[in-house]
Amino acid sequence: MNEKQRMKMIFFIFIILLVIGTIGYSELLQISLPDSLYITLMNILGYSEVKGMPPIAKIFSMIVLTFGVGIGGYTVGIFIDIMMEGKMKDSWRKKILENKISKLKDHYILCGAGETGEVVVGEFIQKHANFVVIERNENVYKKLIEDGILAILGDATEEEILDRAQIKKAKGLISSLSKDADNIVAVLTARQMNTNMYIIARAIDKTAHSKLKKAGANCTISPNEIGGRRMAAQIINPSIISFLDVITRIEDIELDLEGIVIQKNSSIIGKPLKEIRMSGTTGLIVLAIQKYKQEDILFNPSPDEILNYGDVLLILATDSQIKRIKKLANEI
């Protein structure tokens, strides 16, 4: 029997006791129903009896009082159980959550789960990425926990909170806080704690891009600027649909853009690009290659292009093809 059913049962017993007591006192003391209802309530609550009661009425009062005390004690017990059970559940859930977060490695940290962060969370889930969210809003934090998402309640600008998110073992960080000042502090703190991590920061003001990069961000993105350019392009050229919107959805096959980094001991190091297409990945499109430690990007690379450690392949492929390429690149 759950808590709701137990409370319904107590209420039902209380009403029955109230009805029996009211009728009983009315008959035994020959008084009106309102007066007998009053006496019944006083007895249930443990107040003194009416003076001059006959013995039979006193016995009846003891019965009513006994049941009243029993109902009261049982009700208090239920509320204590509910409170204790809730606290135990919260404590147990918190321990499980902290244990999972402590085991994270090569994961992503998202600072802020607002409107932009919510989209990032959705993409992470779709891509099956390991990530943890740092959120200062308690209501948003609780919603994340209810959805089964690893989250930490706190300020992403504080070292202690970032440390709890296992920042030293993280692969990347996205700072998507609501204020540029907070994003700058979060990026600066994160960069000091992990010098090798890739950091992307949200820029709200136009002047924030340079400040965020000086703080340690590898890349800055303004959702407002991107959205504005896209809307302007669509209204000026309404007949032209985005190139990626077309080529990423062909005949119910969804393609994704992915950047694959060739790791050490990869089986494709020293081999030409064309061998990737021969390794069970027919239909794979390699759009570009960024050679290791070079800023220039080689677009539409030759099939004879030799692949080396640290090269980044920008590919357009299905999810299964991406997984196979990651295995070849030794990324997973």
Tens digit of each residue's pLDDT (9 = 90 or more) over 79-138: 776 666 655 566 677 788 889 999 999 999 999 999 999 999 999 998 889 999 999 999
The Cα 63–Cα 30 span in angstroms is 19
* Chain centroid to CA 253: 29
The Cα 287–Cα 271 span in angstroms is 18
Token pair for residue 195?
């010098």
What pLDDT, on the 0 to 100 scale, is given for residue 332? 58
Determine if residue 106 is left, alpha or beta; phi over 0 gives left, psi from -120 to 50 gives alpha, anything else beta.
Answer: left
Flag whether pLDDT at 59 surpasses 70. yes
The CATH number corresponding to 3-99 among 1.10.260.40, 1.10.287.70, 2.40.50.100, 3.40.50.360 equals 1.10.287.70
With bands split at pLDDT 50, 70 and 90, how would you rate the model's confidence at 47? low
CB atoms within 10 A of CB 105: 10
Contact 221, 176 (CB under 8 A): no
What pLDDT, on the 0 to 100 scale, is given for residue 109? 97
The Cα 251–Cα 33 span in angstroms is 78
With bands split at pLDDT 50, 70 and 90, how would you rate the model's confidence at 312? very high
CATH 3.30.565.10, applies to 104-228:
no
Report angle CA 228, 233, 235 to the nearest 5 degrees.
95
Token pair for residue 121?
């969370």
Which of 24-38, 158-172, 197-211 has the weakest average pLDDT?
A: 24-38
Contact 141, 134 (CB under 8 A): no
What pLDDT, on the 0 to 100 scale, is given for residue 278? 54
* Average pLDDT of the residues in 294-311: 90
Residues with Cβ within 8 Å of residue 323, at least 6 apart in sequence? 332
CB atoms within 10 A of CB 7: 14
Which of 150-159, 175-184, 263-272 has the weakest average pLDDT?
A: 263-272
For every residue of 133-154, DSSP letters joined together read: EEE--HHHHHHHHHTT--EEES
What pLDDT, on the 0 to 100 scale, is given for residue 52? 64
What pLDDT, on the 0 to 100 scale, is given for residue 213? 94
Flag whether pLDDT at 241 surpasses 70. no
Q: Which residues pair with 317 in a beta bridge?
A: 256
pLDDT digits (tens, 9 = 90+) for 175-210: 999 999 999 999 999 999 999 999 999 999 989 999
Per-domain residue ranges of the chain: 3-99, 104-228, 253-328
* Average pLDDT value over all residues in the chain: 84
Write out the E strands in the chain: 108-111, 131-135, 151-153, 172-175, 198-202, 219-221, 249-250, 253-254, 256-261, 285-290, 297-299, 312-317
What pLDDT, on the 0 to 100 scale, is given for residue 178? 92
The Cα 136–Cα 180 span in angstroms is 16
CA atoms in the 13 A half-sphere facing the CB of 223: 15
What pLDDT, on the 0 to 100 scale, is given for residue 49? 57
The Cα 170–Cα 93 span in angstroms is 23
Q: Which CATH class is domain 253-328?
A: alpha beta
For every residue of 277-321, DSSP letters joined together read: HTSS-TT-EEEEEE-TT---EEES--TTPBP-TT-EEEEEE-HHH
Task: Tell me how far CA of residue 25 lies from CA of 53, 69, 127, 154, 320, in angstroms.
Answer: 10, 18, 71, 60, 79
Flag whether pLDDT at 252 surpasses 90. no
The Cα 97–Cα 77 span in angstroms is 30
Classify each residue of 239-272 as buried b or exposed e, where b means 16 or more C-beta atoms within 10 Å of its C-beta. Answer: eeeeeeeeeeeeeeeebeebebbbeeebebbeeb
CA atoms in the 13 A half-sphere facing the CB of 172: 11
Flag whether pLDDT at 275 surpasses 60. yes
What pLDDT, on the 0 to 100 scale, is given for residue 53? 73
